[in-house]
Every structure is written in C-alpha cells, then in structure tokens.
A = this chain, B = another copy of it.
C-alpha cells in the first residue's frame, strides 16, 4: 500500500472512533460541546493521532489500544490551536479554512472549549478499558510532560514573550517545545500502548525528534510559498507579524536542505533498530514533502 493510502486508512479509523472518547453529549452544556466539536472536527490532518496509531501498529500493538492516547493527543493539539488563535495571543481569524473558534463562539467560550479539551484528554486516557494501570500512568506522564510548562506551553510562552530572535538556538528551542514535544509524545504513546522495549522507545524518540523538526521547517516554508486556499489558513501570517522563522533565518534553499537532512535523520534512527519500520520511514519522507 502506498503511504498516502495507509495514512488515509489510519485517519479514517481515527475519525470513526474519535466520538467514543468524547464526554457523553447529553451531560454537558450544549454551547460548550458545540465549541469543542467545532474545532475538533474542523478537518485537521490528524497527523499526531495517525502517528500514534502507525507507531503502535509498527511495534506490533493493537489500534484499539492506541485510540485513547491518539484521541487525547488530538484534543490537546486542538486546544492549543484554539488558545493560540485568541486575540490575546496570535490573533488569527482563520484556521483549517474556517473562522477560528473565538470568532464563532466568543473569546470566553473559546478559552473554556480549550480548557475542556485539554482536561478531557486526561479523562479519555484514564478511562481506557484496554490499557493496564502502568500504561495509563506512563501515557499521562508523556502527555502532561509534552503539553505542559516544560513542553508546548513553554514554547508558546517564549513565542509571545521574546521580542527578537537572532539566535537559531532559541528558535530551535521554541519549536522543539511548541511542536516537537507533542510529536514525540505521539510516537512514544503509540509505542507504550504496544509495550515496546526501551531500545525501541529510544530509537523512536530520535525518529520523532527529527520528524517534528522537519515538520516545523516545512510549515515555515509553506507559509511563504502557498496561498490561503492551499493552506486553509492565512499565508504570510508569520511575515505579517514580523516573526522570525527558519526561512527568514536561513533562506528558502537552506530551509529545504534542513528538511531533507532531518527526514533522513528520522529514517536512519529506525534503520538502526531491529524490525520492519518501513511505514514510519515512508511517513517521515511524506511529511518532508507535504504541501499543506
């Protein structure tokens, strides 16, 4: 099967099962549910949950066991987009081709929808029936560590508070926190549900690290080379905000070379491991070439 078809199949599996991990819809305020579902079902690529499912499968695990952390990751990712888009932060009106959550539901309800998705992500994992208690604890550690003040929130805090980035090390740090941490958690959570060995977990962590980095550089490249219709969000928004990106820091050609080098690093990290990792390797190459 081509990697594109494989990803579509995993995405399809995820979409079919996601609703099972949301709170029971009869029991909470309709407006809150609508705001949460508006953003959760806005047509994202589901890259993080697909990474979790694909990694679980590559490690010999079951998709059904990987669904809870996959759903949790997408809830956490969606919450971060809702909060980042707020006027108090990046002030974006368009996301995934639709008005952002706060444009539709107001800032207050958007903040709450994000809070609810973040919190419920931990409920979803803690209530999973096909994981043992040790696995759940390991998953909560991964998710909270990657999403919290040492991970994703740290990246966003740096992003909105640092006024001038001249140093590539700082830009790397921001993206490693903002994007890399959750990519890494996506891969590691999949491995944990499949009870992967520490050797495999270490190799997968290197893979995810390179993959997350490549993904972010591609994002910066697309921001200057694509139109709004191709992206589903406003292009050139980085430049408009005067943001330093890998493209402004290194130029387009050098940024493209970085993507190539990082995807190769991701592939190599798995070549060193026992077993067949071709699907995850193809996935890394695919992400390096993505166009939206």
A residues touching B (Cβ–Cβ < 8 Å)? 23-24, 27-29, 31-33, 36, 79, 83, 86, 88-89, 106-109, 111-112, 114-116, 118-120, 122-123, 125-127, 132-134, 136-137, 140-141, 143-145, 147-150, 153-154, 156-158, 160-161
Contacts and interface: CB of A to CB of B under 8 A. Distances in A.
A106 to B, nearest CB: 7
B116 A149 contact: yes
A140 B23 CA distance: 15
A111 B86 contact: yes
A233 B97 CA distance: 42
21 contacts: A23-B150, A28-B150, A31-B161, A32-B153, A32-B157, A86-B108, A88-B107, A89-B111, A109-B161, A111-B111, A112-B160, A115-B118, A116-B149, A116-B154, A119-B144, A120-B144, A120-B148, A122-B144, A123-B148, A126-B144, A140-B140
Contacts of A88: 86, 88, 106-108, 111
Given A133-B133, A136-B140, A29 B154 contact: yes
A260 B160 CA distance: 49
Interface hub of A36, A83, A115 (most chain B Cβ within 10 A): A115
Contact of A23 (B106, B120, B123, B148): B148
